[in-house]
Amino acid sequence: MDRRETPVAEQKTPWHLWAVGIAALIWNGSGAYTIMMAQAGLLPSVSADEAAYYASQPLWFAAVTDVALVSALVAAVALLLRRRVATWLFAISLVAIFVTNVYDIAAGTSRTLVSDGAAVVTVIIAVIAILEWLYAWRMRKRAVLR
């Protein structure tokens, strides 16, 4: 058999991929559920001013927010399946998060402008999105994702 035809041994899935993947699935799944329910006006724990915030969002803004949510959720599944596309899906989510937050702040409608708690949550979401993308990128570089 020619050396070029020798199959490359598949790398064993590191334990931390399971931990990060499951944590990302829970984090992104709960975020997607919460935001989409709030957008639909079906989340009972939302305050009146927060409900008004979601109700007043332009359609394109809600759509880009949903792209961020769904791509991160699908990225978590792709990470657990060791698929290289996880890197791109986390990147799409990160870009969508950036776009919506920049627009929201520039328009003066961001919840971060009225609540320190919302500002902290927004920063936490952005940092976790960056870390998810960096982790997937690193696993891709190490050939853990195929």
What's the mean pLDDT in 43-54? 91
What's the mean pLDDT in 74-86? 98
**Interaxial angle between packed helices 116-141 and 15-39, expressed in degrees from 0 to 180 and rounded to the nearest 10:** 140
Domain boundaries, the chain: 15-141
The pLDDT of residue 6 is above 50: no
Residue 111 DSSP symbol = G
pLDDT at 97: 98
Instruction: pLDDT band for 4, please (50, 70, 90 cuts).
Output: low
Distance, CA of 42 to CA of 37 (rounded, Å): 5
The pLDDT of residue 61 is above 80: yes
